[in-house]
Every structure is written in structure tokens, then in C-alpha cells.
Amino acid sequence: MRFSLAFLAVIAAFAQPPAQQRLVSPEVHTDRTVTFRFRAPNAQKVEVAREGLTQRLALTKDDQGVWSGTSEAWEPDLYGYSFIVDGVPQMDPLDSKIKPNLLNPQSVVHIPGSSDLPWEIRNVPRGSVHHHFYHSTIIGDDRDFYVYTPPNYDGQAKTPYPVLFLLHGFSDDASGWTAVGRAHVIFDNLIASGKAKPMLVVMPLGYGAPEIVAPNANAFRDPELMRRNYERFRDATLNEVMPAVEKTYNVSKDRTQRAIAGLSMGGAESLFTGLGRLDRFAWVGAFSAGGGAPEYDKTYPNLKSEAGEKLKLLWMACGTEDRLIEPNRKFVDWLKSNDIRHTWVETPGAHTWMVWRRYLAEFAPLLFRTAS
Amino acid sequence: MRFSLAFLAVIAAFAQPPAQQRLVSPEVHTDRTVTFRFRAPNAQKVEVAREGLTQRLALTKDDQGVWSGTSEAWEPDLYGYSFIVDGVPQMDPLDSKIKPNLLNPQSVVHIPGSSDLPWEIRNVPRGSVHHHFYHSTIIGDDRDFYVYTPPNYDGQAKTPYPVLFLLHGFSDDASGWTAVGRAHVIFDNLIASGKAKPMLVVMPLGYGAPEIVAPNANAFRDPELMRRNYERFRDATLNEVMPAVEKTYNVSKDRTQRAIAGLSMGGAESLFTGLGRLDRFAWVGAFSAGGGAPEYDKTYPNLKSEAGEKLKLLWMACGTEDRLIEPNRKFVDWLKSNDIRHTWVETPGAHTWMVWRRYLAEFAPLLFRTAS
């Protein structure tokens, strides 16, 4: 086939030539430092706030009104960041990588690293991520959930797949664990190396009361609203999402082949839904979750008697720089005092996705092992 | 199950109380006007640039450093917009709805309208959107494509589904047609009302030469690079994406059950791939595409002889305010002079997604009808 230059010339009409050389931001250097650039000719102060760093990176302005600065060398990872422009957080308009969030969307910078890192794409078979939409009669809105299927997923396989329900945190949307957490990449890698069993991962929208993420909701100060949030989330997960998944996919309905885990608010939801319903789940994980209130006896009245027989794994972890470490430790003390078997992991780190990606990579290999 | 207040109190530790009442932007009023707000205490000028409007909305600053302004009443639709802050485009940091784009991500405002509008979610059965990942040996990168399956998709149905390849424009990513174009909602609605046949829609990444979307590539001035872009896109679509889709889904391999359409650069790709390979496609659509070069004889040497027998539909459309209208008209003249049957539609509108959603809703019902 001939590809005429005239045809190309017409196609060229699409292109708007840039008025000036376009700035590049972020620019990741081979030494793992990062240069950020932001044009704001009249701003008085521009800084970069990066996920997991308490200290901001100060930028300086050139005579073209462009603020720039270069970080120290950062560990390979994915980091959310914002420009703080005269005190106001802004996304980087030159960065197409965006961390979706219902209250605080940010830009993302990727420092590439060794292919050993669980979130780096390797030359391995890839699974798929399926986006489903439905009307929730329990919650009363149109909403979505995502399902990861492992590489070479076989809808007709004789042995149905085990399934993990994986929950995002407050202000994330249902895409959080894939778009930010790279859960699909982590599972591809763990499965390819034989570290994790092939499983499906269901990622529902985590709001039982969606009004808690309205801009000025301040819902966490309203116990009745939060009660409804947690209870309706549980009910929609068990009675709407789970049946839809079981109808569409070749997944086990055996409680010993079902896990639930989540981060932050999703960790609290995993404990509430999972530990409260051991007739449906046998494996529970909570990453940087709330926990440890003295009245857990009332929240989980049957846990002490049921756990020994039914709970295959309760895995909890939190970063020592996370302000939720103390409530987590208190909950762990309660578990200990009640002889409820669990794994408790304290790691470096704060309330960040860098921590949660690593937790997922550590937690997933433990699931659905026969020896427990 | 008891839900203790103490447990709720601990969960409340997640919430960071806002230092001050959070601004809301955009605020869509019932009269379809929109108030935008943006905090920038030291900026000299802040405006809103909205997709499809040549005139910007000027904002005014209050004594708190907050710029605000209210639009006229806008027609129900989804609109991309940016704040232009002292000449620099910025996303709205208070708006979680973001239009993904590799060069120019924007915020999105939704003016809700009648449920008759094809992109509004109705109470109808919903299809799903599947995200697939693979390594392209033809193009040499790790990339993705999306597949829409219609409601109640049956992988075992005796009659395989027809399939539309739907291509995004320059600077979009593979999610463009769903995340911005709401193609999945449009198909759900068209199928529910019986206007479109149930079909699969494959949405590949549209770059045969990914370097054309590097920040300062200016690739449209490089004919060799663009030739490679179009040829490799065609080759990857036919030899990698199409076989993967046919292996995974219950789709027809009959050319009369295959369509290809796209917008802007994707329109040019649809013409090049579709009209050049009528052994693989029988239905072709081009929305606001390039076209009309005098050397089409060389690009499509066999089209005149093949079209009468093989081309079921060639549907082209462009907005009269689009600077691509003239090349489109020239191509249509060439089609006429060669007696190649086609449909040519001129509509109001510019080079915008508001136009392309409507084109999809008009084009999709024409596909895979036996009377042609």
C-alpha cells in the first residue's frame, strides 16, 4: 500500500505547533533525582509536597516566571505529589499521570526501579481488569466495581478460583487499587513467580453512605452516618457485588476460598465485614486500618468463639510513622488478650500508597494456602 | 451485630478536620449556569477556558484571594475546562472529574440533562469495560486496550457478536472513548432502546509510534515518523489486538461483522486501516478526521474497484466550526468523483468531545444492518 505524502500533509493539520518549547515536568533523572517545573509568574511561593515526605521541596523562580527545583535521589517507587502555590495545592498540568481521588486528586511521579519491585511491569503474562456498573438498591446510586482476572483465566476451569475483596481508602474511588496501587501488576508478578495463587480480585466502591465524601461532609464526626456507611457497604458487598461476581466469573462460593482486605477506611471495613461474617470469609487483612477500641467485645461478640475454627488468617500491618499505629496496637492487644490468632506487622512508613503496595505484595502470597 | 460507638470513634481518626470550609468548584446550578472557584491570591488574571467555547469566562478575585465567576446557562453535556492562571492552563484542584490526556489533562464539568441524551446513565442493563494489557512486539512497548461487552454478553452464544474498533484522537490515551466519550453508556442506551445491535467495541491505544506524543515531539512535521505511526498502528491492530480479542471473546471473524471508526487522528487511522483493508472491515467511520488530499488515488489504489462490492458503509462527519472541515470536504469530493458510496454529515460544532459523542450515537445504529 502506498502512503502518500499528501495524505500525511493533511494529517499534519491536526497538529497545533507549540507557541514555545513546552516545559517538562516532572523530569526524572537517571540518578533518581526529580526536577519539577511550574509556570506561575505572579506566585510568591511554590513548593512540591510529595506523598510520604513531611518536608516540602522549595522551588525558585526564573525570569520567565517558571518555578523549578530538583529533589534528592528518591527510592524507586510511585509518589503522589502536588505543587503548593501560595499555600494552595495544584496538580502538575504537565504531568498526564494522575492519582484519581474524590477529594484530593494529585499528580504522580514514577521513579523506575529493579524489576524485582512488585509494582514494576515485567515480561510476564498479564491479567485483565474488568469494570462493571450497576444500580445499588441498597445504597441507592449508580456505582461500579472492578474485577482483576489472572493471566490465562479460565471461565470453564473445573476448580473455581479463590477471590479476594480488596478495599480502597477514604476519598479514593473504585479504581484506586489499580490506578494508584497497581494491584493488577503486583498480582501478575506474584502469580508469574509462583508466590501467589491465581485468584480473582474484586475492588468495589467503598462507600455505603456516599455523602461522606461530599466536599464539606465532615462525616467522621457523625456516628450515625458512619454506622450506616459501614453497614450498607457490608450489605451491598455481600448481597449485590458478591452475587454479581459469582454469576459472571468462575469463583468459589466456599468461605475458605474468600478473603477480604483493605487500606485505611477499607481496612476498617475489612475487619467489620470480614471478622463479623466468618460465615462468608476466612482470610482478613487490614492495612493501616483503625482498630483497638475497648468495646470490640460488642462489635465482634462471636469472634473469640469462632476465630479458632473459622479464621484462617488475620493479617494486620501499619507504618510506625502513621498516626493510626496506636489504635492498631490497641486492637492487637485486644486480639492477644482474647487469644485470637493474628499476624501483626509494623513497618517503616506513614499513611501512604508506598506502604500499601508493599503490604499487598506481602499479604497476597499468604492467601488460600492449605496449611494454615 | 452491634456496632459500637467506640469503634466509630476510632474510625474517626481517619478524618482530618478541614482547617476551613472547603471551596466548591465547579458548582452546577439548577438553571445550568456554573460557578467556578479557584484560590490564587497573587495571580493577576484568572479565566476559565471551556471546550467548545472560544471566549473565556473571566473570574474576579475576592479579599480572600478566591477567584470566582458564573457562566451563562450551558446546554446539558460534559465539558472539558481549565483555569488559565496568568496565561497558564491549570486543572481545577477541587474537581475530581478529570479528562485523561497525555499532553493536556483537563477538568470536566457535567451539566445533567434529559435521560434522552445518549451519554446520560439510564435505568437500563449495563455492559462492562475490560482493560487488557500486553507487550507489542510490532511497536515495542507495553500497552493496553479496552473492550466493551454489551449487557448480558454471552461468551457461548451461537452467533458471534459483531465488533467495532473505536479509535481515540491525538494526545488521548486508550481510555479516551470511555472516560471522556462515555462510549459504554452510549452503547448501553442504544442497545436498550433497540437502536443499535449488541456488539463488542474494541478501543486500542492509537499510537503506532508512541514518540509522537512526547512533550516536544512536533511529530506531525515529520512525514516518515507519521508514516510509521499509521502503518504500525494498523499492523498492531490487525495482528496483535484483533487476534487477542478473537481468542478471548465471542466475536465474528467475518469482515461484514467488523467496523472501524475513530475521531480526529483516529478518524484518519480508521480511513487508512479500514478503506485500505476491506478484506478485514466492511464498515468505516471517520469523525472530524483528516482527508481530502489530492493523492488519495495513491493511498487507496484499489478502493474504487472494491468499494461497491465490499464497503457496506463509509460514514464521515465534521463540525462546520472545525478547522478540519475543508480537508474533509475535499476527501468527500474525491469520493464523489470516484462514485464511492458514502454518507457525509456536516453538523454545528468544533473539534470537541461534545461533537464526537453525538457522532457515535448517530453512527452506531447504522452498523451491521443487513440492508445496506
CA distance B274 to B283: 8
In chain A, residues 329-368 whose CB comes closer than 8 Å to chain B? none
- Mutation site, A3, A186, A203, A332, interface B, largest B CB count within 10 A: A3
Shortest CB distance from B215 goes to which of A2, A24, A91? A24
Partner A contacted by B219 (CB < 8 A): yes
User: Which of these, A181, A345, A340, A208, lies nearest to A268 by C-alpha position?
Assistant: A208
Interface mutation target, options A1, A4, A10, chain B, most CBs of B under 10 Å = A10
With CB atoms and an 8 Å threshold, state whether A298 touches B4. yes
pLDDT at B1 over 90: no
Please give the C-alpha separations between residue B279 and each of A55, A128, B128, B247, in angstroms, as whole numbers: 61, 30, 29, 20
Q: Is A13 on the interface with B (CB under 8 A)?
A: yes
The DSSP annotation for A87-104 comes to: TEEE--TT---EE--SS-
Q: Which of A1, A3, A5, A7 to mutate to test the interface with B (most CBs of B within 10 A)?
A: A7
DSSP labels, B107-172 = EEEEE---TTSTTS--SS---EEEEEEEEETTTTEEEEEEEEE-TT--TT-SSPBPEEEEE--TT-
State the Cα angle at B79 between B197 and B357, rounded to 5°.
Answer: 15
Select the residue of B142, B231, B294 nearest A121 (Cβ to Cβ).
Answer: B142
Distance CA A329, CA A342 (A): 12
- Judge whether B350 and B322 are in contact, CB under 8 Å: yes
Residue A371 C-alpha, separation from nearest chain B C-alpha, in angstroms: 31
Size of interface A-B (CB pairs under 8 A): 242
Whose CA is closest to B329, among B341, B317, B338, B340?
Answer: B317
Considering only alpha carbons, which residue of chain A is nearest residue B179? A131
Q: Cα separation of B231 and A11, whole Å? A: 14
**Do the Cβ atoms of A293 and B7 come within 8 Å?**
yes
Taking Cα atoms as reference points, which of B266, B278, B84, B238 lies closest to residue B173? B266
Grid coordinates belonging to A244: 454479581
Mutation test of the interface with chain B: which of A11, A120, A328, choosing the one with the most B Cβ atoms within 10 A?
A: A11
Distance between CA B37 and CA B58 in Å, rounded? 11
Q: How many CA atoms lie within 13 A of A364 on its CB side?
A: 30
Q: What's the DSSP call for residue A161?
A: B
Contact B301 A2 (CB under 8 A): yes
Chain segment B204-247, per-residue pLDDT in tens: 999 999 999 988 887 777 888 888 999 999 999 999 999 999 99
Percent of chain B whose pLDDT exceeds 70: 93
Residues 6 or more apart from A205 whose CB is under 8 A from it?
A143, A144, A145, A173, A174
Query: Nearest-CA neighbor of A70 among A40, A28, A108?
Result: A28
Which of residues 173 through 192 in chain A touch B, CB cutoff 8 A? Answer: 173, 184
Q: Cβ contact (<8 Å) for A93 and B105?
A: yes
Which residue of A5, A8, A94, A187 is the best one to mutate when testing the B interface, meaning the one whose CB has the most B CBs within 10 A? A8
The answer to whether residue A295 neighbours chain B at the CB level (below 8 Å) is yes
What distance in Å separates the CA atoms of residue A367 and residue B13, rounded to the nearest whole number? Answer: 29
Judged by CB atoms closer than 8 Å, whether chains meet at A101 and B96 is answered as yes
- Could you tell me the pLDDT band of residue A294, with boundaries at 50, 70 and 90? low
Residues of B in contact with A299 (CB under 8 A): 1-4, 7
Over residues B152-170, mean pLDDT = 97
Least confident of A339-343, B108-112, B294-298: B294-298
Question: What is the amino acid identity at position A289?
Answer: A
User: Which residues does B4 contact at the CB level (< 8 Å), separation at least 6?
Assistant: A293, A295, A296, A298, A299
Amino acid identity, position A64: Q
Phi/psi at A206 (nearest 5 deg)?
A: -90, 15
User: CB–CB of B164/B282 below 8 Å?
Assistant: no
- Other beta carbons less than 10 A from residue B331's beta carbon: 24
pLDDT at B3 over 50: no
In this complex, do B43 and A44 lie within 8 Å of one another by their Cβ atoms? no
Read off the amino acid at residue A130: H
pLDDT band at B312 (very low <50, low <70, confident <90, very high): very high
Residues 93-152 of A with CB under 8 A from B: 93-96, 98, 100-103, 105, 121, 123, 126-135, 142
Give the closest-approach CA distance of A191 to chain B in angstroms. Answer: 16
Q: Tell me the average pLDDT of chain A.
A: 92
Q: What is the mean pLDDT of residues A102-114?
A: 96
B9 neighbourhood in chain A, CB within 8 Å: 223, 293
Residue A131, pLDDT score: 98
Cα-to-chain-centroid distance, residue B132: 18
Query: Would you call the peptide bond into B294 cis, given omega within 30 degrees of 0 as the criterion?
Result: no
Nearest residue, CB atoms, A43 vs list B42, B155, B231: B42
pLDDT in tens, A236-291: 999 999 999 999 999 999 999 999 999 999 999 999 999 999 999 999 999 999 74
Cβ proximity of B293 and A11 under 8 Å:
no
**∠ at Cα A179 (A177, A185), nearest 5°?**
75
Tell me the C-alpha distance between A67 and A87, whole Å.
15
CA distance A278 to A237: 14
Query: Using CB atoms, which residue from A88, A96, A291 is nearest to B10?
Result: A291
Q: What are phi and psi of A285, to 5 degrees?
A: -130, 145
The interface predicted TM-score (ipTM) is 0.94
- For residues A221 and B12, what is the distance between their CA atoms, to the nearest angstrom? 7
Residue B183 has pLDDT above 60, yes or no: yes
Q: What are the start-end ranges of the H helices in chain B? A: 5-11, 183-192, 223-236, 242-248, 265-270, 276, 296-299, 303-310, 325-337, 353-363
Q: What is the grid cell recorded at A10?
A: 493533511
The Cα diameter of chain A in Å comes to 79
Nearest to B327 among A8, A10, A299 (CB): A10
Instruction: Among A21, A40, A290, select the one facing B10 at the smallest CB separation.
Output: A290
| Cell 487488557 found at | B132
Taking the Cβ of residue B299 and every Cβ of chain A, the question of whether any pair is shorter than 8 Å is answered with yes
| Best CA proximity match to A182, nearest among A306, A264, A80 | A80
Partner-chain residue, chosen from A126, A170, A299, that has the shortest CB–CB distance to B133: A126
- At residue B241, what is the residue type? V
Name the CA dihedral angle for B298, B300, B301, B304, rounded to a multiple of 10 degrees.
-130
Per residue in A170-184, pLDDT (tens digit) is 999 999 999 999 999
